[in-house]
Every structure is written in C-alpha cells, then in structure tokens.
Amino acid sequence: MSEQTLPQSNALDDVSVHVEERANGDLSVYISGDLQFDTRDEALYHELLVLPALSIIRNRRSAPIRLLICGGGDGLALREALRFPGVEHVDLVDCSETVVSLGRTRFSELNNHAFEDPRANTIIADAWDFLSRIRGGETESYSAVICDFTVPRRRGDSRVYSKEWYEALKSVLLPEGIISVNSMSPQGTPEAFACLMKTMQAAGLSAVPIRLCIPTFHEHGYGVWSFTLCGSDLRRSDLSAIECPVALRQANFSGLEKSAEFPPLHLESTPVNTLLRDALLPLLLNPGTGSLRLTESVEPTPNGMPFDLEPLIASIPILHPYHTRAMIDTLAEHVAPTIRGLDIRRLVDELMARAARLPERFRRELARVRDFIDCHVDNVDGWMNWSYRLFAILFIVITIANAMTPDAAFAKGGFGGGGHGFGMGGGSGIHAEAAAAPTHVTESGFRQSISANSATDLAGHTYQSEAFRYRPSYWGYGGYYGPGCWGYHPYGYGRYGYRDYGDHRVRRPAEPTKHAPQPKEEQHQSAFVVAKDLLVMDNGDIVVKLTDRAYLLVLEGHVSLMSNESQEPVVPLYPDPRLISAISDELNHQKSSLQHEVDVRSDWLTWVGWTESFIPAIKNDETEFKNLKHLSHSLETAIKRLGKTPTGAFKEEATSFGDVELFAGCVLNADSTVRFHLENGHWLILNRDKVHVDSMSLTTQAPTGLGRVLPGIISRRAIETASDLKALDRQLRDLENDRASLVNDRKDYDSIYSQSGYDGNYEVDYGTEEISVSEAIKRTVNDLDNNQKDMLDATAIHAKLESESLTLSRAAEVYGNR
Amino acid sequence: MALGNEEAAKEHVRQAKLAVKMGNYLAAYEELGHVDPSSQYAEEVKNLREKIREIEQADLKDASRAPWAGFGVGVLLYLLLSIRTPTQWTGPVWIALAFFVIPIIAGYFTAWYYGFRCDRGERFVPAALAGGLAMVVYSIINLLVARYRIAEGAGSDVGGQYLAELIVTVAYGLIAAIVAGLAGAARPYTVSPDDEDLSTETSGS
C-alpha cells in the first residue's frame, strides 16, 4: 500500500487530496481529510447519485439529456452519466484542478476515461461563479444537475447547500428537471440533514431523500448516508417507476422507494441555510447539540462554584473540522484549576499599579479593598455564610420589632429641632443669641423632686429660679390706666391714652378714676427654661429676658416691656406676630418632646409601676414621670396663656441704614431716637428724655422706667453687634484667602492650557478629581464668581453692622448716663 | 370450651373496652390478659390490643406537641395585643386581654390538643406551660422595647430596671400560667367522639 499527498495547484484549489492505495490495487481518496470514495464501493455511491435522477428524466421526457455535474472532479459521476443512454452533453464544473487532474490521469481507469469523451465538457471553476455566469444567458437549460460536493467543513463551503444555490439551480433547470444531491448523513448529522431538507423546500423544490449504507463510509463513522433528489414536482412514488436502462454493478433500484422512507422530520424549529445565515455548518460540526443548545443560558449551581462548567463547555461550538469535542473536554479539565490558580493579590496589585493615575480618593478605596482581601481572602466563604445568617436574623428581628413598635425599630419619631433666641439680636431681633434648646431628655434632673426655687429645662438641667413681680391683671380690665399707675395717660397721649387708636381686640379701658380697684401685684418664679432667654413662669406666663433689668412679658396675646424695678409695664408693645409665633412654635415643639417622654414612661410604668415600693430605681422612674407630667402641664398652660398669634396684617416698620432693632417692637434709629411699636399700632418716639406719639405733636417727659432699662438693652446689643462683626471679619478674611487661592488656580490652569497646545481635553487635578483643563477653568471661574457674590454679601452685612455699631455707640453716649 | 369460660371472656372484653374509654389502658390490657386465648373472643382481643396501641401512640404524639401548639397560639395572640401599648389599650382592657382572655384561649387550646380524655391535673401542666411561656415572651420583648424607648440618663438605675423587668416577667408569667392551666383543666373528663367505634357490645354470643 502506498500513500501520496498531492500539493495544491492554485488559489482556488484550496484542498488537500490524499490517496491511499492498498496492495490489492484498491484506492481510498480523501479530500481535506474526508473520505471521497473507496474503490470497493464507489460504484454504489455514484450509481445511486447519478442514475436515479437520469432514469426519472428519461421517464419524463424523451429528449436528449443535458447534464451539469457540480464537483465530482474524480470523473466517477461523469462515468455513470456518460454510460446512461440519451445523455447528449455533460458539463462538469469543479474548482479543484488537482482533483480533475487526478481524474484525468490516475483515476482514468476507474472512470473509464470519461474526461476524453467528446460529450464531456470540463470547467475548472467555482460552481457558484459558473452558475452565476450562465444564469440569464443563452445557455440551454439542463435536464439534470448532479451535486457531488464534499460535505462542508469550513465557513463558505455551505453556500452550495444554500437556498440561493438551489434557486439558482432551479433557474438553469428544465421544468421537469431533476437535481441529485450528495446530502450527508441523516444518522450522524440529523440536524444538518433536516436543515438541508428545509432549505430545499424553501427554494421551492420537492425533495425526496434516499438513504443507503455505504460500507466504507460506515467504517469511517459517517453513519447511514443519503442522496436527495429534488425537482419541481417530484414525489416518492416517482422512484417506483424507475427502470434503469444500464446494468448496475453494486446498486439495486428495486428497493429505492423503500429507501426513501424517513420518519417525519420536525422542520418547524429547523433553520434554513442561506447566504446570510450559515445555519448548516454549525449543525454539521456540532451534531446532537441542536441549534438552540448553543444559546442556552448557564445556570449557577449550588455546589459553591459560581457555575457548573459542564454546560458551559458543552455550549462551546465547534467551528472547524479539526477542532474536536475531545480537545474542548481536555481543555475543560484545566479550566477550573486555572481559575483557582489565579493570584488575586497579585492581580489586585497589578490593578493598583494601573490605578495610580486615578484620583486619590478612588485609590484609597482600592487600597482598602486590597487590604481587606489580604486579611480575609482565606475566610471569605465563611464570612459570607455568617453574613447571610446575620442578615437573616436581623431581618426577622427587625420585622417583628417593627410590627410591634415601629418607632423603636427604626428610630422614627423622637425629638428634633433646634432652639431659637427670643430676646435681642441682629436681623429680626427675635431669633438670635439664645442657646440652642435641648432636644432630648437625657439628664437626671427629673428623677428627683424639683424644689420650688428651681427651674428646669427639657434636658433636666436645674437652674436657680428667677422671680418676677408684675400686675398681670392690667391686661384684664384696663387697670393699667388706674390711679397710682401713671402709665402714659398723665403724659397726655390723647384723651383716652393711646388705647384709643383702634385696637378692638383690647377692651376699652375704664376712665381713670381714683375709685378703680388697684390691680393685685403678683410674684412668680421661673419654672421652665425653654431657652436661654425664654422662661415659663410657674403660672404659665412667659418672660423673654432682655437684660438683667429688662424683660418682655408675654401674656394672653399682649407684650410689654417690663423693668425689674417696677410692677407696671414700661411700654405696652404691639404683639409682633413673629415673636408670638416663634415662642409658640418653640413651646409646642418642647411640649411635644415632653409629651413623648411622658407617654413612653407611662408605658414603662404600666408594666413595672407596681414594683416601685421595693425597687428604688422604679420609684425614681415614677418621680421622673410625675415631674415630666407636671412640666408638660405647665407648658400646656403656657401655650394657652400665650394666646393666639395675631392674624391681622402686620406692617413691618421700614428701617433705614444704621437703624438697629433692639428687640421685637423697638428700633434704635441712626439719629439716636428710639421707636416703640405701641399696642395700638402707633409708634412712641423717644428722643433723649422726651417722648411723643408719631401722630401727635405733643412731646412730654420720658418715663423714668425707660431710662432705667434702655442703657442695658443698648449695651447688650452693642456687645452682640461687636461679636457679630468679629465673626464677619473672620469670614471675610477666609473669603479673601479663598479668592487668592482661586486666582492662583486659574493662572495655573491657564498656563497648563497654553502649554498643552490649547488642548481643552488635557487632564488636570481638580481637588480629588481629574478633569479636563477646560472644565477646570470653567469651574474655577464659577467659583470665583460665587466667591465674589459672597464677598459682596458679607461686605454689605459688615457695612450694616458697622453702621449699627456706630449707632449703638452714639446711643450709648446719649442714654448711657441716664 | 365450657360456656362459663366464654361468659367470663365476654365480660373481660367488655371491661377492657370500658377501661379504654376511660383512658385506663393498663387496666384494659390487664382485662384482655384474662381472656382465654382459645375462646371465640381471641380475634377481638387481638384487634382491641392493636387499637389500644394506636390510641396510645396517637395520644403520646399529641401530648408532646400540645404545649408547643398552645404556646404558638398564645404568642400569636400576644403579638396581636402588642399592636398597641398597655396605655393605649387602657388599663382594664389590657389586664383583661393579657391576663385572662389570651391565657384562657391558649390554655384551652392546649388542653383540646392534648385531649380531654385524661385527668384535669394532667392537662393543667401543658396548658400552664403554654400560657405562661407565651406571656413571658410577650413581657420580655415589650419590657425591652419600653425600656429602650426611655432615654437613659445619668440618674437612671439600669440594674434596678433589669431587676424590675425580671420580677415583672416572672410574676406575669406565673399569673398567665395559672390562668391558662385552670382554663386547660376546666373542662371535665370527656370521651372523644373518635372512640365511638369501641362498642361496649361484644361480638360474641
């Protein structure tokens, strides 16, 4: 036995031909590794490929037969065709000159020198190109076409099994013509076989496949083989009428119709092989997988590995004839160890090296990830397990707790808000300097009995109680104008005093008379410290402390400037809605907080209250509960006594530059006069030691009370303004520093921009980011603009405060010595 | 066999069936042991023994599960009670629900699950366990939550509060246990309708 592999002859001839010659003279021919024929049974193959088609044609028409053989360069199909009676002309098209050359020489004995027959016309060309060339030309149509191609093994090979190919064949075929196709194995590659059937149907051909067992093909593992006859109106019954006029050496046509019996093919989900969609080759190379298998999703498995590799490996398609399943399986054996063999630490280090160009903050986060992996990578699995368990437990506990007590489970409700100032201060004169109100009852003050001389705040801090003496009944029946209380009436603010100016909410005062009852003087202690300057008296009255000598008494919707040295109001003021509203809000807020504390202690004591007799801690809890309840009651009383916030239109008095609002309802003008917003809406003007009402020309001596309280108020306001000025100076310095820094940044970015050849995309550091230089310049300019606005605002406020400070200095000189 | 022996066997079988109905299985076995194996009641004795064994096994299973079933019912009811705080329920309503209604339901359910075909004293223990434990769980959780909601200040005595929680939990648990136990034992001894097939009439002549 000798073997000979012949070289390729040209570019078209991209095949390798291997001839295996045995000692007995038998040959086996392989093209690109696939068996083409074996002399022991090649007659069976070629007789069945050629003669049934010609026999059917002979039955259908008596005219001479024109035949086209595509492939079959070995000349064996040509041999069979030429010995069939009536064959007038045969065109044989084969792309391989090597194979045709072998057919002319080495296989000439086998093919009976078919190539020398004058009826045979051999064309060395690509069959597709040949068909394209003759389509639509004047070439006479063929009676039959024999497709003796090798089975497709590479991308592009399957185009001569495509729908377009069969449509082209149909166009060069007589209407009653027959095509005979070497149609692979319905046993070894059933999906590909079905695909071919569907493709022929799609091309408008009736296909009748014939299966047969070719022994040498079977030896090579190709399985049962098949040929397919197709034509415009071909039926399986056509096979029964075949009478072959030539002697058959190996084939037997008597059982041909039976050989054409196939189980039903399920073509619904089978793809059609077209030029655009090469469906045949994957099915040929991956038999048994099915077309859908290649796109199946891979489900994770519970065995700890992220995925089971088996389906993943099985889904890798074979796209080359020498690429075998065994190769993939061998590779798969190494995949898992390879993945496990990855050095994660080194990988992260490499990533860190790459990440060196990232922003600093991002790099820090990555470094933390690396440290974590270094410390925990060996225990990650265990850590994950415990995390899941912990999460599950937490989830259950929180769910149950939330169902039972939503507030406790998610810390909803509780306390909040901050404090307000109620005395003097910049701006409105309402919200300023006072300390922030406590937001939570956390101290122990309530756990003891609170003495009568103590005041507490919301946090339970105790303070020395302060006493205030005043006549609260003044606001009840107008006794303010009574004898002994010289108020303003003696100074002649109109016949009925200033209450005659239309405040209908206040009862008209009684005429001053010596027989009117003297209002009773009362002394009350501060019981609750709402804020640093806001106190609630033991009877629920509210005091806003201005200085040690002066305070505002807020009672039943009335506000009065009071002095510690007198029980009568120094000036009854207009109830500024802003002041009343601010006090009301703060009282309600703290009352709400207290009520919550009372409620939760009530719950607690419902459970354990009966143990107070023998457990001191619970007794303390009970005391705390009572104190809180008492305090809550006091606050409630205070809210009631505060009265409603005035709803009438409040016209805020315009202040000019340099004016200072000393407190709500009192403005110090730049010319050192002081305006008091009176209860009836008019303004009382104090000019040094004289007063007058804005609408009246009569000027009288200022009450002595004013002289006592005003210097302290001005002095305190001056201290506050000086403090505000200091803070503002610091803020201005910071803004100037920021501006200088921004200007430098701008210069740097401009410089980088010019040095980069005006490339706006050049990356630069911007804080913790890396952004383009054009973006950096844009942001810097924006920051400069904002800085400029802040500077302007701060400068304006500074100027106003300076002006106010000057006003206060002048006023201190005017009123300070009184 | 003499007629006198057959009469005696019939009487033993009847007494055995009565003993089964009373829940006294040992006595039933004893009565069946007196029946002559050669008598015509031998087959009935065999069947009766099988029946007693099945009843015993079923009772054993029910008895072991009963406290847990009652506990589950109790916890479920207390969970519903926890939707509102005692203050929100108002004192009398809360006391009625927490110390009477729920323990009674839990205790009675336990006894029903346990089976009324046993002495009251025998039913008291599982019912008391179920009701008491459910109250303990309810008390512990609610006390923890209630104490958590009170902001702990410098003056608060956490140790004292823990002690109070412990005392309250034990006391309330005991009260609920007693009420539940009494509820479980309240119903007198009852023969279950399931036992109707144990006819006192013997099949023999």
CA B186, CA B116: separation in Å to the nearest integer? 10
Closest C-alpha to A257, from A245, A241, A240: A240
Chain B CB contacts of A408 under 8 Å are 145, 148-149
pLDDT of residue B93: 93
In angstroms, what separates the C-alpha of A410 from chain B's closest C-alpha?
Answer: 12
CB A400 within 8 A of CB A552: no
Q: Is the pTM of this model over 0.80?
A: no
Size of interface A-B (CB pairs under 8 A): 99
Would the CB atoms of B164 and A615 count as touching at under 8 Å?
Answer: yes
> Which run of H or E residues covers position A174?
strand A173-182
Identify the closest residue of chain B to A610 by CA–CA distance. Answer: B168
A148 has catalytic annotation: yes
How many Cβ atoms from other residues are within 10 Å of residue A625's Cβ? 21
Tokens 């000027």 belong to A699
Q: Closest-CA residue in chain B for A621?
A: B156
Chain B residues in contact with A618 by the CB 8 A cut-off are: 160-161, 164
Q: Residue A611: list chain B partners with CB under 8 A.
A: 164, 167-168
Residue keyed to tokens 């206060």 = A808
On chain A, the residues whose CB falls within 8 A of the CB of B158 are 617
CA atoms of A91 and A441, how far apart (whole Å) = 107
CB contact under 8 A, B85 and A440: no
Name the B residues in 86-105 with CB < 8 Å from any A CB: 86-87, 91, 94
In our burial notation (b when 16+ CB lie closer than 10 A, e otherwise), range A341-378 reads: eeeeeeebeeeeeeeeeebeeeeeebeeebeeeeeeee
User: CA of A477: how far to CAs of A34, A126, A482, A573, A582, in Å?
Assistant: 123, 122, 10, 17, 27
Across the interface, which of B79, B143, B160 has its CB nearest the CB of A616? B160
Which of B146, B154, B158 shows the shortest C-beta gap to A604? B146
Q: What would the two tokens of residue A419 be?
A: 């404090």
Strand bridging mode A27-31 / A17-21:
antiparallel
The CA–CA distances, whole Å, from A369 to A281, A316, A362, A365, A375 equal: 47, 34, 11, 6, 10
Are B154 and A401 within 8 A, CB to CB?
no
ipTM computed for the complex: 0.73
Which stretches in chain A have pLDDT values below 70? 1-14, 136, 289-323, 325, 331-348, 351-352, 354-363, 366, 370, 372-452, 472-519, 646-654, 695, 817-818
Collect all residues from A whose CB is shorter than 8 A from any CB in B: 400-401, 403-405, 407-408, 440-448, 460, 597, 599-604, 606-608, 611, 615-618, 620-621
Sign of torsion over alpha carbons A696, A701, A703, A706: positive
Put simply, the answer to whether B148 touches A607 (Cβ < 8 Å) is no
CB-based contact B151 A611, cutoff 8 Å: no
As given in the structure block, the two tokens for residue A635 are: 């606050």
Of residues B5 and B78, more confidence is placed in: B78
Cα gap A460→A465, rounded to integer Å: 14
Per-residue tokens: A707: 């002289």
Inter-chain residue contact B87 with A460, CB threshold 8 Å: no
Range A332-340, long-range pairs (CB < 8 A, 24+ positions): A335/A309, A336/A305, A336/A309
Phi first, then psi: give them for residue A727, nearest 5 degrees.
-60, -40
b/e per residue, A428-461, with b = 16+ CB within 10 A? bbbbbbbeebbbebbbbbbbeebeeebbbbbbbe
Minimum distance, in Å, between the CA of residue A463 and any CA atom of chain B: 17
**Predicted local distance difference test score (pLDDT) of residue B203:** 44
Q: What domains are defined for chain A?
A: 2-9+38-285 (3.40.50.150), 296-340 (no CATH), 414-471+520-650 (no CATH), 474-510 (no CATH), 657-818 (1.10.287)
Residue A462 C-alpha, separation from nearest chain B C-alpha, in angstroms: 14
**C-beta atoms of B145 and A615 within 8 A:** no
Contact B146, A607 (CB under 8 A): yes
**β-bridge mates for residue A94, sequence order:** A124
CA-CA distance, A687 to A431, in Å (whole number)?
27
In chain B, which among 172-201 make CB contacts under 8 A with chain A? Answer: none
CB contact under 8 A, B150 and A460: no
Quickly list DSSP for A718-766.
HHHHHHHHHHHHHHHHHHHHHHHHHHHHHHHHHHHHHHTTS-TT-EEEE
Amino acid A514: pLDDT: 47
Q: What percent of chain B has pLDDT over 90?
A: 30
User: Of the residues A148, A503, A541, A621, which is catalytic?
Assistant: A148
Q: Which distant-in-sequence residues (6+ apart) come within 8 Å of A340 by Cβ?
A: none
Mutation pick from B75, B137, B150, B152 vs chain A, by most beta carbons of A within 10 Å, is B150
Q: Which residues in chain A are closer than 8 Å to B149, comparing Cβ atoms?
A: 405, 407-408, 600, 603-604
CB spacing of A442 vs B151 below 8 angstroms: yes
In sequence order, what are the beta bridge partners of A468?
A: A524
Residues of B in contact with A606 (CB under 8 A): 85-87, 91, 94
**Parallel, antiparallel, or unpaired for β A65-71 and A142-148?**
parallel
Minimum-distance CB partner of A442 among B82, B145, B153:
B153
Q: How many angstroms separate the CA atoms of A479 and A515, rounded?
A: 11
Q: Find the closest chain A residue to B78 by CA distance.
A: A404
Rounded to the nearest angstrom, the minimum Cα separation between A659 and chain B is 46
Task: Answer yes or no: do B82 and A601 touch at CB < 8 A.
Answer: no
Residues B84, B88, B90, B93, Cα dihedral to 10°: -20
Distances (CA, A) of A621 to A211, A513, B133, B148: 99, 55, 28, 14
CB contact under 8 A, A401 and B163: no
| Residue B44 C-alpha, separation from nearest chain A C-alpha, in angstroms | 55
Cβ distance A617 to B94 less than 8 Å, yes or no, reads no
Residue with tokens 């992260």: A348
Contact B160 A460 (CB under 8 A): no
Exposure string for A60-89, b = 16+ CB within 10 A, e = fewer: beeeebbbbbbbbbbbbbbbbbbbbeebeb
Q: In the 8-state DSSP scheme, what is residue A678?
A: B
Q: In angstroms, what CA-CA distances link A85 with A88, A145, A645, A746, A811?
A: 9, 16, 121, 98, 137
**pLDDT reported for residue A145:** 94
The verdict on B2 touching A (C-beta cutoff 8 Å) is: no
Largest CA distance in chain B: 93
Choose among B149, B153, B158: nearest Cβ to A443. Answer: B153
Rounded to an integer, what distance in angstroms lies between the CA atom of residue A228 and that of residue A256?
A: 12
Distances in Å between the alpha carbon of A727 and those of A211, A353, A721, A734, A801?
101, 47, 10, 11, 11
- Of B83, B152, B168, which is closest to A607 when you measure between CB atoms? B168
| Interface with chain A: mutation pick from B79, B81, B157, B165, highest number of A CBs within 10 Å | B157
Chain B CA closest to residue A620 = B156
Q: Residue A323: its pLDDT value, please?
A: 66
Minimal Cβ distance to B146: which of A444, A446, A607: A607
In chain B, whose CA is at the least distance from the CA of A602?
A: B87
Q: Which residues of A touch B146 (CB under 8 A)?
A: 600, 603-604, 607
> From the centroid of its chain, how far is CA A305?
28
- Chain B residues with beta carbon closer than 8 angstroms to that of A413: none
Q: Which residue has the tokens 């044989």?
A: A92
Helices (H), A356-454: 360-376, 380-404, 406-409
Between residues B178 and A664, which one has the greater pLDDT? Answer: B178
d(CA A431, CA A449): 33
CB spacing of A608 vs B83 below 8 angstroms? no
List of chain A residues whose C-beta atoms are within 8 Å of the C-beta of residue B86: 603, 606-607
Minimal Cα–Cα distance from B169 to chain A, Å? 9
User: How confident is the model at residue B130, as a pLDDT?
Assistant: 93
Q: Distance (Å, rounded) from C-alpha A600 to C-alpha A405?
A: 12
Which candidate, B134, B138, B141, places its Cα nearest to that of B70? B134
